[in-house]
Structure formats: structure tokens, C-alpha cells
């Protein structure tokens, strides 16, 4: 897993992404947390716990997919204007290995940012004290939206 902690988003973008992330009930429910916010790149970590596993003890594919989708969405949002939001149009994820280990880290990276559609690469790594393993990889299409004014 390539770390690029040297390239952080501006404080305003980091605050906007963090505030939005904190409003996500699913991420709170899963116990996921932001670990890096950079221009076009966001990392989200999820610690292994019994309540996010499937019957064999691996982290559930639904949790794996959810953090991947969210990392990609926020990676795109780092490049959008302040008045824009993001919605996933579609994503495909390949599960490459069981999500074993102490923690997962999803990395969303913008491949191409457009005026309407943005394409992101999704990767999820499993880590423990001895190894880091790529457990999922995918691609995502997002659409830039402008929220309706509150009525």
C-alpha cells in the first residue's frame, strides 16, 4: 500500500470531507475512520471486530465494499468545488483474497475527474503485524451533483 501522506488536501477540503464522513451512519456503525485525505486520494480504515465479520471470521465483503465505495467517493469529492456533492453511479469490486488480518484500509484514487463523471480506482488492503495483502480491487464511476436548496 503506497502511502502519500506528504500530499495532504487543504485544511478546508479536509474539514469538508471529515464533516461529511461524520454524517455517514453506515461508516459510524462499521467503526470506519478516515486515515488520509489528499487531493484525489482518500484512505479509510476498518479494524477487524466480530461484528463486521462473516461466518468464517473474515471481514465481510459488504463491509469491505462499503469502505472501498466511500473512499472513492471522498477521493472524488476532494477535487470538486465546494458547492458540489457526489453520488456513486456504479462500481465493480473483485474480492482477491479473504479479508483476514487486524485491519482493512481502503484506498480510493481518482483516475479521471470530469465535469460530470469521475472515475476512481478502489483498492482494499488487509494488514497485520507480518504482512499487507491486497484483498479487493475495483473501479467506480461517480457523478457530481449539486444539492437542492433547503426549503
DSSP collapsed to 3 states, 116-128: CEEEEEEEEEEEC
- The C-alpha atoms of residue 149 and residue 18 are separated, in whole angstroms, by 22
- The percent of residues above 90 in pLDDT, for the chain, comes to 87
Cell of 116: 460530470
Q: With a cut of 50, say whether residue 151 has pLDDT above it.
A: no
Give the neighbor-by-neighbor strand order of the sheet with 132-145. Answer: 33-38, 41-47, 103-113, 117-127, 132-145, 85-95
pLDDT, one tens digit per residue, over 18-46 is 999 999 999 999 999 999 999 999 999 99
pLDDT, one tens digit per residue, over 75-109 is 999 999 999 999 999 999 999 999 999 999 999 99
CATH assignment of 11-145, among 1.10.3720.10, 3.30.1490.190, 3.10.129.10, 3.40.50.720: 3.10.129.10
How high is the pLDDT of residue 150? Answer: 64
Give the CA count within 13 Å in the CB-facing half-sphere of 125.
Answer: 14
Q: With a cut of 90, say whether residue 14 has pLDDT above it.
A: yes
Question: Hey, where are the domains in the chain?
Answer: 11-145
If pLDDT is split at 50, 70 and 90, which confidence band does 6 have? Answer: low
pLDDT, one tens digit per residue, over 105-144 is 999 999 999 999 999 999 999 998 889 999 999 999 999 9
Amino acid at each position: 500500500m503506497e502511502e502519500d501522506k506528504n500530499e495532504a488536501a487543504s485544511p478546508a477540503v479536509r474539514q469538508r470531507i471529515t464533516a461529511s464522513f461524520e454524517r455517514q451512519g453506515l461508516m459510524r456503525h462499521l467503526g470506519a475512520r478516515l486515515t488520509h485525505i489528499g487531493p484525489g486520494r482518500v484512505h479509510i480504515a476498518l479494524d477487524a471486530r466480530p461484528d463486521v465479520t462473516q461466518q468464517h471470521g473474515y471481514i465481510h465483503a459488504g463491509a469491505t465494499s462499503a469502505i472501498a465505495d466511500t473512499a472513492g467517493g471522498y477521493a472524488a469529492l476532494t477535487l470538486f468545488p465546494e458547492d458540489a456533492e457526489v453520488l456513486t453511479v456504479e462500481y465493480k469490486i473483485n474480492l482477491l483474497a479473504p479479508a483476514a488480518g487486524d485491519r482493512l484500509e481502503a484506498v480510493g484514487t481518482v483516475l479521471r475527474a470530469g465535469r460530470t463523471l469521475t472515475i476512481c480506482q478502489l483498492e482494499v488492503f488487509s494488514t497485520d503485524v507480518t504482512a499487507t495483502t491486497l484483498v479487493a480491487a475495483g473501479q467506480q464511476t461517480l457523478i457530481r451533483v449539486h444539492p437542492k436548496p433547503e426549503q
